[in-house]
């Protein structure tokens, strides 16, 4: 852990508010100077503060993770049963139980995903080289060697290596979307800002891990390592508690309930056999072990894991990559999706969507940086004259611009500010070729964009005549783009297809308001023709009067094309979508309105959130649909407030700033194409196509997985219940046990797993996405399913016990009678599998028998395996079975058919009663 920088009384937490201090005061606080630290001073500070790296996370060893596989109350009971068996000399029984437990543990260990790497991926953001002043000389050092007080030199394209208080800034802009969530590059300057300014508005600061998109800067390092804003996110991520999923909570509760019930029943039966039946203690102990083994569904963990793994494969085919198995089922329970805006709901590519000319407001089609799109006015294509006006404005936007595209790949790669990239794409749509235009109209001077004046001006002198351009264009001219209120104040007239007209400032201000209300960032573009002999080097702020307004452009980060439909489908499924963004409230509300998320009263800002207590936030959270100006801490609070209300929350995001919330959410969903590695490693699911609609597909699969898990559970539990009832009945009646513990384990681990695995391949049932999300506290087994489990348990036990007694009476062979009892139980399970394809609807149809080919396949495999169990000498030795006469098979199979028909009759009767 690195040490904190020198303290200051400025901040409430005891830390300096560097953004609110002037540059000289910051240098004094850090005991530094503009020429940089001396080498010896820098070395001492490196010893004091530590390297500029983030603290790595603690990880569990593989051995510890292996031991954790046994941390389950049902496994504890099985291990105790194995110990008792070995202690009584039943080595085969005990060894089989131990083997089953070990296999389950190894399988669980292999199915675990990769260890958490979120902090490691964040640390890679700091592994860069940077330019510093040491002893007044410029040097290149590893970013890990930076210390508070170092003077850092940065320019366009550099990654910021630490938190830096600016000393000087020239035309400086930084891309901070990964940290703040705001899509636009932000302007930076050296003057202090308000102490309470949010992170996104601290223009006097540069933050570790962000990118310089334009200009040059010199600044002093104020924080390194864990003390940077990036490091604070890492600390948040390290401290975030990973919640158990609904399934793991339900399974834990089920395990505790089953364990208590099994132990209570086993104890009662043991006491009954000892006190009333006078069984020998050795035999009674083995009977109790058999009962415990019979009642414990030891195959259930494997079935759950396999079912989830099949869901993972299905989701991967739909571009949803699952990193942790329980997230598959949790997606089916999601009731709220908290979606990051930039790069998730939007494309993270600024695009000109509107152009306002004197002729009217023109809509621009085409998204992103491909330079493909068309212009329309009131839904109609532009006339040649109107198109000429658009081209004139687009050429000015291209020339008064510092960005460029790398067009060698698709999509085009932008070098520079995203807003200026949008203007270049507009020019490409208007037919201008970037290189040709710059060659024809070289820039001879400029006034760079500064936050103080909020505009950029360039001076151009043409090199040659071109018949396609008007005479005005060929003269030297001054071009200006910037904030509308500043540019409009410089203009005296406006260009139109009928010639120059007097400027109606109020009318243009209303146009600005209309575009802003649509969530668009508005820029004004103007020009001023100059005399042919105007000096090339002569340009200052005094020339920026009497300009001609060319028009306005409205720029926005557009919604992904498929997002509207996906959000609507989520709403239809009862899933609420909440948009979280670092943008201003007006921009956030405009985009939220496009998605029909809610009205203006449902917009919450970060500053408003800071004023709310946790209890107050919980009262408002269900009515909140849009959250603006959100920081990483805000996202965490929102997730926690929703979870406190019992909501199952999915959080989507792509930036470093999203990682803590992704980890805290019930399901973290990261973007695979444009997401940072930190976001991907903190998430449970990664979207391979960055497509919001893939979340909807994942929810469908998640709900299907839950249905299939419930079907598997309702299938497995009667197997254990039937076996337990057979043993209980035998002890109560004082007869020989119909099955041995190892025979019971055979049924539980081989037959139950073989058959129930087929249910993992069941397809989605009709109306799946018209259901509301299931309540977070819902149990896996409701009253109806408990009744079904009880009924089938009784049917299976009755069939097995009757056939055991019949075979024992006919052949007077205990091993044969037990073999018949086991096969009768297995036959009942095989037919009951068909019942479980639908828990409430009838399966007396051809589709129910053939709709899932794995059902018939698993029954076929089971028949072969069961014949080996009955007739193979090795199996007879291990499990104490003997060959059954063929005459016993018809009645054994008839028992299975009877179970099937009785369950179908119960479904029919239940449906009739429900319809009344």
pLDDT single digits (tens) 176-186: 876 776 656 78
Number of C-beta neighbours around residue 873 at 10 A: 8
pLDDT score of 337 more than 70:
yes
For residues 813 and 865, state if they share a domain. Answer: yes
Six token digits for residue 490: 């410089």
Per-residue pLDDT, 792: 95
Tens digit of each residue's pLDDT (9 = 90 or more) over 692-723: 778 888 888 888 888 888 898 899 888 878 88
Total residue count of the chain as it appears in this document: 916
Domain-embedded: residue 4:
no
In a domain? residue 867: yes
Residues 584 and 713 in one domain: no
The percentage of residues in the chain with a pLDDT greater than 70, rounded to a whole number, is 83
**In the listed set 690, 710, 734, which residue is the last one of a domain according to the structure?**
690
Nearest to 80, CA basis, from 218, 263, 273, 242: 263
In tens, the pLDDT along 551-606 reads 999 998 888 878 888 888 888 889 999 998 877 787 788 888 888 887 656 788 88
> For 445-495, what is each residue's pLDDT tens digit?
988 877 678 899 999 988 755 444 444 446 789 999 999 999 999 999 999
Residues 801 and 842 placed together within one structural domain of the fold: yes
- The CATH number of residue 202's host domain is 2.70.150.10
Tell me: do 356 and 324 sit in the same domain.
Answer: no
Alpha-carbon span 773 to 286, nearest angstrom: 46
Give the domain range for residue 654. Answer: 320-346+561-690
Are residues 601 and 671 part of one domain?
yes
Q: Could you tell me if 309 and 707 are in contact, meaning their C-beta atoms sit under 8 angstroms apart?
A: no
Verify that 307 and 324 share a domain, yes or no: no
Mean pLDDT over each residue of the chain, to the nearest integer: 82
- Using a pLDDT cut of 90, give the percent of the chain over it: 33
Same domain for 534 and 428: yes
Question: Do the domain assignments include residue 447?
Answer: yes
Residue carrying structure tokens 């408990």: 786
Instruction: Answer whether residue 310 is part of any domain.
Output: yes
- Residue 83 in any domain: the answer is no
Do residues 577 and 660 both lie within one domain? yes
Q: What average pLDDT does this structure show over 429-458?
A: 88
State yes or no: pLDDT of 122 exceeds 60: no
Whole-number pLDDT of residue 225 = 87
Domain final residue, candidates 527, 556, 585: 556
Over 181-248, what HEC string results? CCCCCEEECCCCCCCCCCHHHCCCEECCCCEEEEEEEEEEEEECHHHCHHHHHHHHHHHCCCCCCHHH
pLDDT tens-digit series, residues 205-233: 999 888 887 888 999 999 998 888 878 77
Judgement on whether residues 709 and 578 belong to the same structural domain of the protein:
no
Burial of 904 (0-12, 13-18, 19+ CB in 10 A): middle
* Residues annotated as part of the active site: 340
Q: Please report which confidence band the pLDDT of residue 678 belongs to, taking 50, 70 and 90 as the band edges.
A: low
Tell whether 713 and 797 lie within a shared domain: yes
CATH number, domain of 415, equals 3.40.1110.10
Q: Is residue 218 part of a domain?
A: yes
Place of tokens 């208590």: 260
Backbone angles phi, psi at 686, to 5 degrees: -125, 130
Q: How many separate domains does the chain show?
A: 4
Asked which of 528, 556, 584 is the last residue of a domain, the reply is 556
CA 361/CA 606 separation, integer angstroms: 34
For residue 606, the model assigns a pLDDT of 86
Q: Which residue has the higher pLDDT, 249 or 116?
A: 249
Residue 101 lies in a domain: no
The string of pLDDT tens digits covering residues 623-660 is: 889 998 887 678 889 999 999 998 999 988 776 667 77
The verdict on 332 and 307 lying in the same domain is no
pLDDT score of 685 more than 80: yes
- Is 72 inside a domain boundary? no
Q: Are 419 and 557 in contact (CB under 8 A)?
A: no
What's the pLDDT score for residue 182?
65
Same domain for 635 and 738?
A: no
Considering the entire predicted model, what is its pTM? 0.65
CATH code assigned at 865: 1.20.1110.10
What is the mean pLDDT of the segment spanning 72-84?
A: 67
């Amino acid at each position: 852990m690195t040490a904190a920088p020198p303290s200051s009384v400025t901040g409430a937490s005891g830390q300096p508010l560097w953004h609110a201090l002037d540059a000289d005061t910051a240098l004094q606080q850090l005991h530094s100077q503009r020429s940089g630290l001396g080498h010896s001073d820098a070395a001492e500070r490196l010893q004091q503060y530590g390297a500029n790296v983030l603290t790595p996370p603690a990880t569990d060893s593989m051995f510890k993770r292996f031991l954790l596989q046994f941390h389950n109350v049902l496994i504890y009971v099985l291990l105790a049963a194995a110990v008792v068996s070995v202690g009584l000399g039943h080595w085969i029984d005990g060894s089989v139980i131990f083997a089953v437990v070990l296999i389950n543990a190894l399988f669980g260990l292999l199915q675990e995903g990769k260890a958490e790497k979120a902090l490691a991926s964040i640390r890679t953001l700091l592994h860069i080289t940077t330019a510093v002043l040491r002893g007044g000389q410029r040097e290149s050092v590893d970013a890990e060697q930076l210390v508070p007080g170092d003077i850092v030199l940065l320019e366009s394209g550099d990654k910021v290596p630490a938190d830096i208080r600016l000393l000087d800034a020239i035309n400086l802009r930084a891309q901070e979307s990964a940290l703040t969530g705001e899509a636009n590059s932000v302007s930076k300057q050296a003057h202090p800002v308000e102490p309470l300014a949010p992170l996104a508005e601290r223009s006097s600061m540069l933050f570790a891990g962000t990118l310089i998109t334009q200009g040059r800067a010199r600044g002093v390092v104020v924080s390194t390592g864990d003390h940077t804003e990036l490091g604070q996110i890492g600390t948040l991520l390290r401290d975030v508690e990973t919640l158990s999923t609904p399934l793991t909570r339900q399974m834990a509760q089920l395990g505790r309930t089953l364990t208590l019930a099994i132990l209570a029943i086993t104890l009662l039966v043991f006491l009954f056999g000892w006190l009333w039946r006078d069984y020998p203690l050795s035999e009674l102990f083995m009977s109790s072990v058999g009962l415990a083994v019979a009642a414990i569904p030891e195959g259930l963990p494997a079935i759950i894991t396999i079912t989830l793994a099949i869901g993972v494969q299905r989701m991967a085919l739909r571009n949803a990559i699952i990193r942790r198995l329980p997230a598959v089922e949790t997606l089916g329970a999601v009731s709220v999706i908290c979606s990051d805006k930039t790069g998730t709901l939007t494309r993270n590519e600024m695009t000109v969507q509107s152009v306002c000319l004197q002729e009217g407001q023109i809509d621009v089609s085409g998204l992103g940086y491909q330079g493909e799109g068309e212009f329309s006015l009131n839904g109609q294509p532009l006339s040649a004259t109107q198109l000429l006006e658009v081209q004139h404005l687009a050429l000015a936007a291209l020339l008064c611009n510092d960005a460029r595209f790398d067009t060698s790949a698709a999509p085009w790669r932008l070098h520079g500010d995203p807003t200026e990239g949008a203007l270049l794409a507009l020019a490409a749509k208007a037919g201008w070729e970037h290189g040709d235009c710059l060659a024809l109209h070289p820039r001879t001077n400029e006034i760079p964009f500064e936050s103080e004046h909020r505009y950029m001006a360039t001076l151009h002198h043409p090199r040659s005549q071109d018949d396609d351009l008007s005479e005005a264009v060929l003269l030297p001219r001054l071009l200006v783009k910037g904030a509308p209120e500043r540019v409009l104040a410089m203009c005296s007239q406006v260009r139109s297809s009928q010639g120059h007209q007097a400027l109606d400032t109020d009318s243009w201000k209303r146009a600005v308001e209309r575009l802003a209300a649509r969530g668009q960032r508005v820029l004004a573009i103007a020009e001023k023709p100059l005399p042919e002999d105007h000096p090339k080097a002569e340009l200052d702020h005094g020339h920026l009067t009497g300009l001609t307004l060319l028009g306005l452009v409205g720029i926005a980060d557009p919604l992904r094309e498929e997002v509207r439909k996906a959000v609507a489908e989520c709403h239809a499924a009862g899933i609420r979508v909440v948009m979280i963004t670092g943008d201003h409230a007006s921009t956030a509300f405009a985009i939220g309105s496009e998605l029909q998320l809610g009205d203006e009263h449902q917009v919450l800002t970060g500053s408003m959130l800071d004023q709310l207590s946790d209890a107050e936030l919980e009262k408002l959270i269900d009515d909140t649909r849009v959250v603006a100006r959100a920081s990483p801490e805000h996202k965490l609070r929102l997730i926690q407030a929703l979870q406190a209300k019992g909501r199952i929350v999915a959080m989507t995001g792509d930036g470093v700033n999203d990682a803590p919330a992704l980890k805290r959410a019930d399901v973290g969903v990261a973007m695979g194409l444009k997401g940072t590695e930190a976001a991907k490693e903190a998430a449970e699911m990664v979207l391979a196509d960055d497509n919001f609609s893939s979340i909807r597909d994942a929810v469908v699969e998640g709900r299907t997985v839950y249905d299939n898990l419930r079907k598997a559970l309702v299938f497995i539990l009667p197997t254990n219940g039937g076996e337990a009832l057979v043993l209980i009945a035998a002890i109560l009646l004082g007869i020989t046990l119909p099955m041995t513990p190892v025979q019971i384990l055979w049924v539980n681990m081989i037959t139950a797993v073989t058959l129930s695995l087929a249910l993992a391949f069941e397809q989605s049932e009709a109306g799946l996405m018209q259901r509301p999300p299931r309540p977070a506290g819902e149990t896996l087994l409701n009253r109806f399913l408990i009744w079904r489990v009880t009924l089938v348990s009784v049917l299976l036990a009755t069939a097995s016990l009757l056939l055991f007694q019949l075979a024992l009476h006919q052949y007077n062979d205990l091993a044969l009678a037990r073999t018949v009892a086991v096969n009768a139980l297995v036959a009942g399970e095989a037919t009951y599998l068909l019942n479980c394809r639908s828990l409430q609807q009838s399966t007396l149809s051809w589709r129910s028998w053939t709709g899932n080919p794995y059902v018939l396949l698993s029954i076929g495999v089971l028949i072969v395996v069961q014949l080996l169990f009955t007739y193979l000498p090795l199996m007879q030795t291990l499990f104490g079975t003997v060959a059954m006469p063929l005459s016993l098979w018809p009645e054994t199979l008839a028992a299975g058919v009877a179970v099937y028909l009785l369950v179908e009759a119960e479904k029919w009767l239940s449906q009739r009663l429900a319809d009344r």
